[in-house]
Structure 1
Amino acid sequence: MSERKKVGILGGTFNPPHIGHLMIAEGVRDIAGLEEIRFMPNAIPPHKVKEGDAAAWQRLEMTRLAVRENPDFTVEPIEVDSGGVSYTSRTMDLLREREPGSDFSFIIGGDSIDHLHTWYDIDALVEKVEFIGVPRPGSGASSRYPVKMVGIPQIDLSSTLLREKLKAGRSVKYLIPDPVIRFIREEGLYGV
């Protein structure tokens, strides 16, 4: 009997992806012993939709550019390909059906842990995946749902802050991978 593949899913808007996302993914992969981390951009996130955001295909492409240097990282386009509002519970059903030999862990930050009780179909979702939580500055990281916490270096960085810096013409060097910065400039995203 073959061993089951241990896959971590890091979902989000990735608007834009940044070094904080990469640090979280690598730290969790290492500590939790995961074979692969998949970055999974939302099509239309249920909690965050703002005018002027990058289109789903642009966020998917930026995420591909951000992870391409790490052989343990891939991009999971299932939610962007499906379109519509993204619900993790539905997506995990599709992934588990597609890959019955994989065990999925879903990686979330402290701010998401605080709001797990608001997630669509959360009671069913906790039966489908193991939640792996990472602390985030300013969050309580507490939930009545089971979350395996891992300690990794923290960085107080958000995509919102980076969009503001870009719009103001300020440097984001070392905060966003260089290929992603080039793509942002080429596409004229975030007021650049």
Structure 2
Amino acid sequence: MKKNIGILGGTFDPPHIGHLIIANEVMHTLGLDEIRFMPNSVPPHKEKTQKISNQARLDMLELAIKSNGQFRVEAIELDREGPSYTYDTIRLLLQQEPDLNIHFIIGADMIEYLPKWFKIDELVTMVQFVGVKRPSYNEVSPYPIQLVQTPELVISSSMIRSRLNLGKSIRYLVPEQVETYIKENGLYES
């Protein structure tokens, strides 16, 4: 029997409540067995500007999701070198776990970008893309996307890093344990 999972990829630099809300809404709307948060190492569509270690991002993700037994971290991309192409990752994941039925969760910014994804025509045969709205983006795509309504919060990791750099509060934007980890480890300070 196939296991229905959702995968939410990202830099999670840091993970925030927007990530958790999206994952929870998609999981319950689609009746998925679990959601895997998949931190990428080198996203091919972004310049590598991250100064936080992969281990710190993993630690923060584990803290962020530990209260939900249906959430887990999928570190497969951190174990590979080079750009984190979703096609390569999904192919490897399906070799390791052939019983997976994968729902790959993307924001509207990535829906617009899908035509530029590496081996997108092969990838759409391997996963069901699940799109969630983001303000100022269009959800129209030439590829099959299952749209899920989620609360629209304008929160981003870059906004959180900026607030920390300016000495502003991030309370309620990230789980309390993540905020404590950031403070205790002096992350994102100017």
Q: TM-score range by the shorter chain?
A: over 0.9
Q: Answer whether contact 1:52 1:190 (CA < 8 A) is retained.
A: no
Counterpart AA for 1:31: T
Cα 1:108/1:4, change in 2 over 3 Å: same
Counterpart AA for 1:61: D
Quote the Cα distance in structure 1 between the aligned partners of 2:155 and 2:78: 24
Cα 1:140/1:83, change in 2 over 3 Å: same
Fraction of identical pairs, as percent: 48
**Gapped runs of 5+ residues in structure 1?**
none
Give runs of aligned pairs for residues 33-182 of structure 1, distance below 5 A: 33-182=31-180
CA RMSD of aligned residues (A): 1.2
Q: Answer whether contact 1:45 1:86 (CA < 8 A) is retained.
A: yes
Quote the Cα distance in structure 2 between the aligned partners of 1:77 and 1:38: 9
Quote the Cα distance in structure 1 between the aligned partners of 2:140 and 2:14: 26
* SS of 2:160 mapped into structure 1: helix
Cα 1:52/1:115, change in 2 over 3 Å: closer
Deviation at 1:181, TM superposition (A): 1.2
* 1:127-158 Cα shifts (integer Å, max 9, x gaps): 10000011111111221111000111111111
Quote the Cα distance in structure 1 between the aligned partners of 2:78 and 2:21: 23
Query: In structure 2, what is the equivalent of residue 28 of structure 1?
Result: 26
Quote the Cα distance in structure 2 between the aligned partners of 1:56 and 1:48: 16
Query: In structure 2, what is the equivalent of residue 5 of structure 1?
Result: 3
Counterpart AA for 1:176: V
Count the aligned residue pairs.
190
Quote the Cα distance in structure 2 between the aligned partners of 1:80 and 1:38: 14
Deviation at 1:50, TM superposition (A): 4.3
Structure holding more helix per residue: 1
Quote the Cα distance in structure 1 between the aligned partners of 2:80 and 2:62: 18
Provide the TM-score with structure 2 as the length reference: 0.96
* 1:34-90 Cα shifts (integer Å, max 9, x gaps): 100000000111122343531222212211111111001000010012232111000
Deviation at 1:20, TM superposition (A): 0.2
Query: In structure 1, what is the equivalent of residue 189 of structure 2?
Result: 191
**Gapped runs of 5+ residues in structure 2?**
none
Quote the Cα distance in structure 2 between the aligned partners of 1:92 and 1:148: 18
* 1:87-118 Cα shifts (integer Å, max 9, x gaps): 10000001111111111110001111111111
Quote the Cα distance in structure 1 between the aligned partners of 2:186 and 2:140: 39
